[in-house]
Structure 1
Amino acid sequence: MHPGSQPPSDDTALVIFLGIGFLIAGVIYIIPSIVAFRRNHPNRWIILVINVAFGTTILGWGVALVWALRAVHRPGSTSSGGESGLNLFVNDVKRIQIVDPPPLPGTSPVQELERLHDLLVRGAISQVEFDGLKAKLLSGAS
């Protein structure tokens, strides 16, 4: 041995060992957040908060991991969105078709106009909708 060199002390080896151990534990601790961000999960920030706040409990870490791994309904997909789980920031849009209801049997245009006015007064339809339906009703009556 060289006169000026000394073997590493046990304290230095212990610090290095503990540092590597904490680094590995930290990576394991944030795996749910890493998965959520890599998958671009719509609730990745909430998953991160749950992971950091409750990750020390096995239950909190597991909930964050399962949520991060859940399938997410994406707009444009053909699925119904039922697999999306709790997606607070993703709206599962349901497309509906609005059709005009058939006229009530035996009603005159005057009665139909009164019914439309009643819907307008109650706020069920807007003024623009009322005007459009009234024009359609009056054009069909003549």
Structure 2
Amino acid sequence: MYGGYLLGIALSLVIYFVPMMIAFYRNHGRYTTIFMMNLFLGWTMVVWVICLVWALFGASRINHASGGSNKYEDLERISRLKSSGDLTEDEYQAEKSRLLNQ
């Protein structure tokens, strides 16, 4: 008897937080802002739609990141791949030169 109500409430909550989930999945630069607006003002539906559009079309952190620290993280990542044998020496050198020339 209560199963239908509980399912309806659970489904409503999932739909209510769709903008937040999309922003989190896309690693959105303003994830926290979208979450807070969705949490407190999403019930107005206008703000919910704004949050949804912002989450879908806003830039992710990857696009906003400067080349400085990410370049070093990428170099460490390809170094680990080379150490594990997933990259050959030639592939490693090619990827390294591509990263350093960005």
TM-score, normalised to structure 1, is 0.42
Q: 1:50-109: per-residue Cα shift (whole Å, max 9, x none)?
A: 0011111110100111111124143369xxxxxxxxxxxxxxxxxxxxxxxxxxxxxxxx
1:59 aligned onto 2:46: yes
Structure possessing the higher relative contact order (Cα contacts under 8 Å, 6 or more residues apart): 2
Counterpart of 2:23 in structure 1 is 36
CA distance in 2, matches of 1:71, 1:56: 21
CA distance in 2, matches of 1:16, 1:69: 33
1:49 aligned onto 2:36: yes
Query: Which structure's residues are more often helix, by fraction?
Result: 2
Out of 65, 72, 76, the position equivalent to 1:75 is 65
CA distance in 2, matches of 1:64, 1:18: 27
* Percent of residue pairs bearing the same amino acid type: 31
Residue segments in structure 1 that go unaligned for 5+ positions in a row = 1-12, 78-142
Residue segments in structure 2 that go unaligned for 5+ positions in a row = 68-102
TM-score, normalised to structure 2, is 0.58
- Name the larger-Rg structure: 1
Please give the root-mean-square deviation of Cα atoms over the aligned residues, in Å.
1.5
